[in-house]
Amino acid sequence: VCDCTGHGVPGALVSIICNNALNQAVREHKLTDPGQLLTKVREIVSAEFEKSTEDVKDGMDIALCALEGNVLRYAGAINPLWIVRNGSSEIEEIKGSRQPIGKIDKPVEYPTHQVGLNEGDSLYIFSDGFADQFGGASGKKFKIPNLKKLILSLQNESIADQKKLAERAFEEWRGNLEQIDDVCMIGVRFRN
């Protein structure tokens, strides 16, 4: 899941640059490790932004996952990975690096986290669009604590039903207010 900053034509150009950088890191550099991929993508994006005559402050937040057997490898630039273990009533959060993909003064490599998965564990990666949506009785943002409560309340449902119920919760929260951002959330239940 990735989410580029910026709006209109400049935002679209940032999206194209970031998408091309991700493709280049995979196809040309043959990278498969999520942390190495994000580090290379940032190098490519930064080099592209350096070509601009303007100071580009936009970039991309992203969460990347790679599954090998029952081991999940994850790296994130801002965006976290949430895991709800089968039978648990808590969210295990693996935070993304605090550095987005883009021009950074003191870049550090993105770490790859490895997590063992068991039958029935649920994984969630998402953009900030759901949590940042205004709505409810007082027109406030939904926010991360409410998103966590929503995800936990859906754990006894199938992933397909979770999708429908999350969409309904979003629309009910939004009410008559305009949707302010794109919303992307991926939920997966692990099966051996």
Token pair 């409560």 is found at 149
- CA end-to-end distance (rounded Å), the chain: 23
Q: Check residue 157 and give its pLDDT.
A: 96
Query: Is 34 exposed, middle or buried, given 0-12, 13-18 or 19+ CB atoms closer than 10 A?
Result: buried
Is domain 2-189 given the CATH code 3.60.40.10 in the classification?
yes
Give residue limits of the domains in the chain: 2-189
Q: Check residue 12 and give its pLDDT.
A: 83
Note the pTM of the prediction, 2 decimals. Answer: 0.91
Q: Check residue 55 and give its pLDDT.
A: 67
Instruction: Give 10-residue mean pLDDT values along the chain (192 residues).
Output: 79 87 95 95 89 74 90 95 96 95 89 97 96 96 98 96 98 96 94 85
Query: Is 133 exposed, middle or buried, given 0-12, 13-18 or 19+ CB atoms closer than 10 A?
Result: buried
Q: Check residue 176 and give its pLDDT.
A: 95
CB 91 within 8 A of CB 151: yes
